[in-house]
Amino acid sequence: MALYEDYDLYINNSLTRKKEKFEALKAPNVGMYVCGPTVYSDVHLGNCRTFITFDMVYRYLSHLGYKVRYVRNITDAGHLENDADEGEDKISKKARLEALEPMEIVQKYTLGFHEVMAKFNTIPPSIEPTATGHIVEQIDMIEQIINNGWAYVENGSVYFDVEKYNAANDYGKLSGRKIEELISGTRELDAQSEKRNPLDFAIWKKASPSHIQRWNSPWSVGFPGWHLECSVMSTKYLGEQFDIHGGGMDLKFPHHECEIAQNKASNGVDAVRYWMHGNMLTLNGQRMSKSTGNTLLPGELFSGDTDKLSKGYAPTVARFFMMQAHYGSQLDFSDEALQAAEKGYNRLMQAVAKLDTLEANGANTDFDVPNWRKDCYTAMGDDFNTPILISHLFEAVRFINGAEKACGLSSENLVLLKNTLNAFVYDVLGLEKAGEGNQSDKLDEVVTMLIEMRNKARADKDWALSDQIRDELATIGIQLKDGADGTSYSLD
């Protein structure tokens, strides 16, 4: 029997704002779509938090025995500045500034994104479709929306008719916005605007002469609107209706609101059964955001090469830090919080290691393993409550730390404890032993060790050895720098 038959899962559905019991449309299969990055710059830790959240969701669903098809897209065209219908394409702009092909920009930042995701031990999605790889399908959906009467063509561009749609549906239901307020909040259309109503959004845009990424369509040479790709690629790979759609909270409006409208307008059904939104990672209380520059990059976190941190942290420690908060709560990033997370992580992993050395000897402890195990599943079943799960894991840590080698558990319960703790720590939370699978951590440890040996050589006035260590590191591209706070290093 699959675990999901034993343990209920409740998901806080952002559409209904209620915790609902999760019922897969076609168990054991589950379809999950998550909005991926727009690959025009390095992802920051805020972006990473959202992807790590849905990696945890994917891991837990898989752990429960579901066969998850996890689709996470790459936005490589159509995302304009300010998430608007006017302005330059984010990728094309970067390409123009760096005198590169847009696809060179896409390649560079897609590879960078994958590298970072691997560092955080996230599992790659089952399918990672791109907007530019699905232009034909996007044109098909636009035709459907026009044929069904929900969009109009103006001067080569196609606009979704929000007012008409809203008369029959509830535009704004996800974000809780009322159309009247949205209308009063928008500026009057200027005389040249092609839109009938300021709330209408482009599903196809005619390309201006300077717009580089452009395709033929029945309406003009142009490009698809940003919201369209997600409607198209989610339903192409998961069906007209599917189980879970995720993304960061900032995407609720307009992106996901527009997705809902496009799906309904083209297929006549609400595509998504459970909408999930991850809350924001903040830095100094402000949302991490590329546009304001209030960001910390994964590389800065790992190396500690930033004035925002006192030192570098292993990716798995940052992951543990994120798992200590519920995905639906805002989380503030700081050096102190990371230091505390590192201590907690070390304590947890030391207990996991000690557990392997314990031996069963009857049943004479208060620690009730089956009940504890149930508590762990109840926590995760309550909308993926990882902080409560972690507090239960620490009940086990306290037991293990206090246990003698002959730990007082029956062999059955000792095995159950080991299996459960390992499953939640490694499979569900996705933590790793420090240094495991992570070459940069190992490198860091080796170089730190050599720096200490060199310090000792210098203290012993063994200048030949100290110079040899420095010079040989330099020949393989590792530069040592002696400063007031000791010796640091950088890689060429």
Q: Is 248 in the site for ligand AMP (CB under 6 A)?
A: yes
220 interacts with ligand AMP by CB under 6 A: no
For residue 263, give the 3-state DSSP assignment: helix
Least Cβ distance, residue 36 to ligand AMP (angstroms)? 7
- Residue number with CB closer to ligand AMP (229 or 441): 229
Q: Should residue 254 be labelled a site residue for ligand AMP when binding is judged by CB under 6 A?
A: no
The one among 14, 38, 157, 175 contacting ligand AMP by CB under 6 A: 38
* Contacts of residue 428, Cβ cutoff 8 Å, sequence gap at least 6: 56, 59, 60, 63, 380, 389
The string of DSSP letters for 80-127 reads BGGGSSSS-BHHHHHHHHHT--HHHHHHHHHHHHHHHHHHTTPPPPSB
Considering beta carbons, is residue 77 or 379 the nearer one to Zn ion?
77
Alpha-carbon distance of 65 to 42, in angstroms, equals 34
Residues within window 50-79 making contact with ligand AMP, judged by CB under 6 A: 50
Judged by CB, which is closer to ligand AMP: 320, or 377?
320
**Residue placing its CB nearer to ligand AMP in the complex, 129 or 381:** 129
Rounded Cα distance between 329 and 325, Å, is: 7
Report the alpha-carbon distance of residue 98 to residue 37 in Å, rounded. Answer: 20
Shortest CB 230 distance to Zn ion, Å: 3
288-317 binders of ligand AMP (CB under 6 A): 288-289
Query: C-alpha distances in angstroms, 376 versus 235, 390, 425, 428?
Result: 34, 8, 11, 11
Nearer Cβ to Zn ion (35/77): 35
The distance of closest approach from Cβ of residue 437 to Zn ion in the complex, given in angstroms and rounded to an integer, is 30
Number of residues that bind ligand AMP (CB under 6 A): 17
- Tell me, residue by residue from 219 to 258, as one string, x for binding to Zn ion by CB under 5 A and - for no binding: -----------x----------------------------
Strand partners, 286: 283
CB of 23 to ligand AMP, least distance (A): 25
Cis peptide before 224 (omega within 30 of 0): no
Q: How far is the CB of 105 from Zn ion (least distance, A)?
A: 19
205 by DSSP, 3-state: which?
strand
- With respect to ligand AMP, which residue has the nearer C-beta, 43 or 348? 43
287 binds ligand AMP (CB under 6 A): yes
CB-based closest residue to ligand AMP: 248
Of residues 226-245, those binding ligand AMP (CB under 6 A): none
Structure tokens at 482: 């002696």
Peptide bond into 209 cis (omega under 30): no
Residue 255 has what DSSP assignment?
I
Separation of alpha carbons 388 and 376, rounded Å:
8
Q: How far is the CB of 198 from ligand AMP (least distance, A)?
A: 23
**CB nearer ligand AMP, residue 219 or residue 320:** 320
Tell which positions 437-456 bind ligand AMP, by CB under 6 A: none
**Shortest gap between Cβ of 206 and ligand AMP (angstroms)?**
24
Neighbours of 103 (CB within 10 A): 15
If one asks whether residue 35 binds ligand AMP (CB under 6 A), the answer comes out as yes
Q: Are 214 and 150 within 8 A, CB to CB?
A: no
Dist. CA 270–CA 240, nearest whole Å: 8
Enumerate the H helices of 329-438 as residue ranges. Answer: 335-355, 369-381, 386-402, 411-422
The residues, ordered by sequence, that sit 6+ positions from 110 with a Cβ below 8 Å of its Cβ are 39, 74, 76
Q: How far is the CB of 358 from Zn ion (least distance, A)?
A: 47
- Decide whether 35 or 469 has the Cβ nearer to ligand AMP: 35
Minimum CB–partner distance for residue 435 and ligand AMP (Å): 27
Under the rule (CB under 6 A), what is the footprint of ligand AMP? 35, 37-38, 46-47, 49-50, 247-248, 250-251, 278, 280-281, 287-289
Under the rule (CB under 5 A), what is the footprint of Zn ion? 35, 230
